[in-house]
Structure 1
Amino acid sequence: MNSSLYLIQSSSSATQSVLAKLKQIYDQQDQVIFFGEALSLLTQADLDYFAQCYCLESEQVLLDLNLIPSFTLLNSTQFADLVLQFERCISLK
Structure 2
Amino acid sequence: MNDLQNELLSIIRDRLKIKINDTAEDITEKNIFGHEVNFIPLDMVYFMLIIEKKYGIRFTEEDFDSPEFYTIKGISGIIAARMNA
Per the normalisation by structure 1, the TM-score is 0.28
- What is the TM-score with the length of structure 2 in the denominator? 0.29
The answer to which structure has the higher strand fraction is 1
Query: As a proportion of its length, which structure holds more helix?
Result: 2
Higher RCO (C-alpha under 8 Å, 6+ residues apart): 1
